[in-house]
Amino acid sequence: MNRLAHETSPYLLQHADNPVDWWPWSAEAFDEARRRNVPVLLSVGYSSCHWCHVMAHESFEDEATAAYLNEHFVSVKVDREERPDVDAVYMEAVQAATGQGGWPMTVFLTSDAEPFYFGTYFPPAPRHGMPSFPQVLEGVTSAWTDRRDEVAEVAGKIVRDLAGREMSFGDGRVPGEEELAGALLGLTRDYDTARGGFGGAPKFPPSMVIEFLLRHHARTGSEGALQMAVDTCERMARGGIYDQLGGGFARYSVDREWIVPHFEKMLYDNALLCRVYAHLWRVTGSELARRVALETADFMVRELRTEEGGFASALDADSDDGTGRHVEGAYYVWTPEQLREVLGEDAGLAAQHFGVTEEGTFEEGASVLRLPQHEGVVDADRIASVQQRLFAARAGRPAPGRDDKVVAAWNGLAVAALAETGAYFDRPDLVDAAIGAADLLVRLHMDDHARLARTSKDGQVGANAGVLEDYADVAEGFLALASITGEGVWLEFAGFLLDHVLTQFTDAESGALFDTAADAEELIRRPQDPTDNATPSGWSAAAGALLSYAAQTGAEPHRTAAERALGVVKALGPRAPRFIGWGLAVAEALLDGPREVAVVGPAGDPATRALHRTALLGTAPGAVVAAGVADSDELPLLSGRLLVDGRPAAYVCRNFACDVPTTDPDRLEAALSGRKV
């Protein structure tokens, strides 16, 4: 057993019994490398990463490979989900040197943590032009022993090149109509009109881009923007990337048609997509969007909720196929014979309905369940029975492993998604689940100074400090709860976190944002990236939360910080809209105001509830809502807002300047239709 046995990360614990003498990322590990005069092997991955498991089995569980590593290296294992800062810094180096990246990430460092050789997955034997991992280890050892000056020169040059990289923050002005129209044009050019989504294979769910498209449609009336959102969401929901039995989305599709997914299920994808489909329903009333939003929310609560009330990070792609083999997708795929075993005479109907063929759409004759793009007349009750029986049968299979680590940022995304979905569809249980996760974040992840810890597991908080996305996404979740529950405490907690964003993560001169706090552990480069990846960048997420908080409170420093941060959207939006979708969505909110809606009236009054619900369902981009008793100090937007002729009323405002209040939900709906008037 090595030094990872006492870590809280499930990924690190997976390696605790390796014959490799692993160290966690720590100053002590680099001190040991310095003492022994050996290089450091840095291996970065995460628990649901398929190729991380493959390399672990092939190399890190191999006694001979481990013996070589233990003799010639200090080996450091990092969970990228616990230490996104370490991952970001060295992934930037890997991508700069090789033109590509991925996990597992394999980097060789000096004892000063300077990188000098890079890669991702290395096989145990030479394959397809790739050197074997033992060959790489021997080559690095030889260079370290015989050409140390050359190694030092390479490492120094890489660090200097990284430090010299400057990011364009725009000209200091916020993006306007021209930039957002240019971003829409860029997306249109990249749009896959035949299959939905953007670009080719592999195809990832474009959650943040769809949020931008929905907001752009709401503000401008662009039918093209709405159509791209609608068609993409329908294609994904009918494809194999969506779990047709249990709800929830896999990480991405390996093909352009959304048929075969990479089967891992991540909390962040499902939180973002749950919210996307709920917002799509809010615009279109689509029954498909409603079903997918609710099924995805139910999946998160059923399969990812922890005993402490938070949400686990992920489900593995792999599981036991029933023969002892660990196989990707084994839990989810079906053969015609398996359908017959479970369904009997309904097997043919199921095969036709879900696209299960004799040849299979996946591997070894198995098929991923999906829905036809144009369904004919089906017996809904019979199909529902088929789904229930297949779901029950699948529950008897060996389940994929679950990464029980609670990540603050992703739980913030889940809080926002569950709270809104519960409010839209009259599911108070989902709102309660959101409150439970938010309570855990406050109780366990926030200290007495409102500093956030990145992770926890089994009720034990991790040692790693929160990064920008943690503060921003948790604040986003708290702001959603404030709008839905009317409880000012959530707005207060959001304010605490966003004050840290202003003081610890923001460059006072330029307004640029860093991914780590000013007093965080110093790495070879302070990470900073405004582009969206699998989740909104901390930069864009912070801009959005700062803007919403300012709209709720009138806090000018927060609005100014949001506007300064959005300068990067002006620079990147027209050039790379797929990679700054959330920043574009926030820019849409800024151009619209965003609108501030105050609903005043007794909480139990049906008229108050009707106005509050109408306000929450308004499509005006980024609109914020406050609900409570008249002239309350619970939420700043309620201050001075009075009943109208003794009746509950709604005020629609921009920059705290309000239109004439209304007591009529229909008039409120018209005022919040989205189009700026």
- Specify the long-range contacts of residues 524-527, CB closer than 8 Å, at least 24 apart: 524/89, 524/113, 524/114, 524/115, 524/159, 524/162, 524/163, 525/89, 525/92, 525/159, 525/162, 525/163, 527/84, 527/85, 527/88, 527/89, 527/92
Q: Are 588 and 548 in contact (CB under 8 A)?
A: no
Biggest alpha carbon–alpha carbon distance for the chain: 88
CA angle 482, 412, 447 (to 5 degrees): 90
Closest CA relative to residue 341, chosen from 261, 260, 397? 397
Q: What share of the chain is helix, strand, coil (3-state, %, to 5)?
A: 50, 15, 35
CA angle 268, 286, 177 (to 5 degrees): 70
Query: Matching CATH topology for 3-163 and 182-316+403-592?
Result: no
Per-residue pLDDT reduced to its tens digit, 85-99? 999 999 988 888 777
Strand-by-strand arrangement of the 406-407 sheet? 406-407, 455-457, 460-461
SS in 3 state form for 653-675?
Answer: EECCEECCCECCHHHHHHHCCCC
pLDDT value of position 169: 63
C-alpha dist (Å) from residue 572 to 10, 280, 544: 36, 26, 17
Topology given in CATH for the domain delimited by 182-316+403-592: Glycosyltransferase (1.50.10)
Beta strands 455-457; 460-461: pairing state: antiparallel
DSSP string for residues in 15-83: TTTSSS-EEESSHHHHHHHHHHT--EEEEEE-TT-HHHHHHIIIIIT-HHHHHHHHHH-EEEEEETTT-
Q: How far is 480 from 416, CA to CA, in rounded Å?
A: 5
What's at 179, amino acid-wise? Answer: E
Q: Which sign does the torsion angle of CA 542, 544, 548, 550 carry?
A: positive
Residue ranges in the chain whose pLDDT is less than 70 = 1, 164-172, 373-377, 674-677
pLDDT value of position 48: 82
Task: Look at residue 460 and give its three-state secondary structure.
Answer: strand
Q: Which sign does the torsion angle of CA 244, 245, 248, 251 carry?
A: negative
Closest CA relative to residue 115, chosen from 101, 125, 127, 128? 101
Place of tokens 């105050």: 598
Q: Are 473 and 413 in contact (CB under 8 A)?
A: yes
Place of tokens 């492993």: 401
Q: For 404-442, b where at least 16 C-beta lie within 10 A, e where not — what string?
A: bbbbbbbbbbbbbbbbbbbbbeebeebbebbbbbbebbb
Beta strands 74-79; 40-45: pairing state: parallel
pLDDT value of position 271: 98
pLDDT value of position 100: 80
pLDDT value of position 167: 62
Q: How far is 585 from 215, CA to CA, in rounded Å?
A: 6
Task: Look at residue 119 and give its three-state secondary structure.
Answer: strand
What does the domain layout of the chain look like in residue ranges? 3-163, 182-316+403-592, 332-396, 596-671
Q: Are 667 and 212 in contact (CB under 8 A)?
A: no
Q: Which sign does the torsion angle of CA 424, 430, 432, 437 carry?
A: negative
Q: Are 549 and 558 in contact (CB under 8 A)?
A: yes
Specify the CATH number of the domain 3-163. 3.40.30.10
E strand intervals along 291-339: 314-315, 318-320, 326-328
Report the helix count and the strand count for the chain, using DSSP H and E: 25, 19
The two tokens of residue 12 are 């690190």
Q: How far apart are the first and last CA of the chain?
A: 66
Closest CA relative to residue 268, chosen from 233, 238, 304? 304
pTM recorded for the entire structure: 0.94
The two tokens of residue 27 are 């100053």
Place of tokens 């686990």: 312
pLDDT value of position 376: 58
pLDDT value of position 268: 98
**Omega into 527 within 30° of 0, i.e. cis?**
no
pLDDT value of position 141: 96
pLDDT value of position 655: 86
Closest CA relative to residue 78, chosen from 87, 69, 65, 91? 87
**Cα of 468 vs its chain's centroid, Å:** 14
Q: Are 612 and 627 in contact (CB under 8 A)?
A: yes
pLDDT value of position 677: 42
